[in-house]
Amino acid sequence: MRNKNAAPKALRAYENVTLRERPELMKEAAAWFHGKWGVPEEAYLECMEACLNGESDYNWYLCLDGEKIVGGMGVIENDFHDRKDLAPNVCAVYTEEEYRCRGIAGRLLDLTVEDMRKKGISPLYLVTDHTGFYERYGWEFLCMVQGDGEPDMTRMYIHR
């Protein structure tokens, strides 16, 4: 029998945080992103340490269900593509499969854009193979770019 006081998962409030707000999550977040994208954990740790040490205005954004990371993304200079002039990039956008279609990625995208805008950083860029998703959150298709070591071109979006 379901607990009458427990909020249904679709209605439960998730907590969106930045790495600067929760620096103790750095190692867990680096491992989580590595598990999703296969980029070496050390690369994530290096970017996250630069964020926390004030070497960069960029940040990492996490959605938590309790203390469990269920979604996340970061801002880095270049997300492994040939257009180095299109920077900075939102990267590593991911929501756990069982948490999708609940607005988690959209809220994190909005948080990321707003946080960067407060620091005077705009526009932002994003590479993806998805069509139709990012447009819902104010992103516009900009051009095709060549991913590092990728045989096919991929879509580049901009948020102004």
Q: Show me where the domains of the chain are located.
A: 15-159
For the stretch 22-43, pLDDT in tens is: 999 999 999 999 999 999 999 9
CATH fold of 15-159 reads Aminopeptidase (3.40.630)
Q: What are the angstrom distances between the C-alpha of 5 and each of 9, 14, 15?
A: 12, 17, 19
For the stretch 110-150, pLDDT in tens is: 999 999 999 999 999 999 999 999 999 999 999 999 999 88
Kindly report whether the peptide bond that precedes residue 23 is cis, defined as omega within 30 degrees of 0.
Answer: no
pTM of the shown model = 0.90
Query: Looking at the predicted structure, is the pLDDT value of residue 50 above 80?
Result: yes
Query: Looking at the predicted structure, is the pLDDT value of residue 94 above 80?
Result: yes
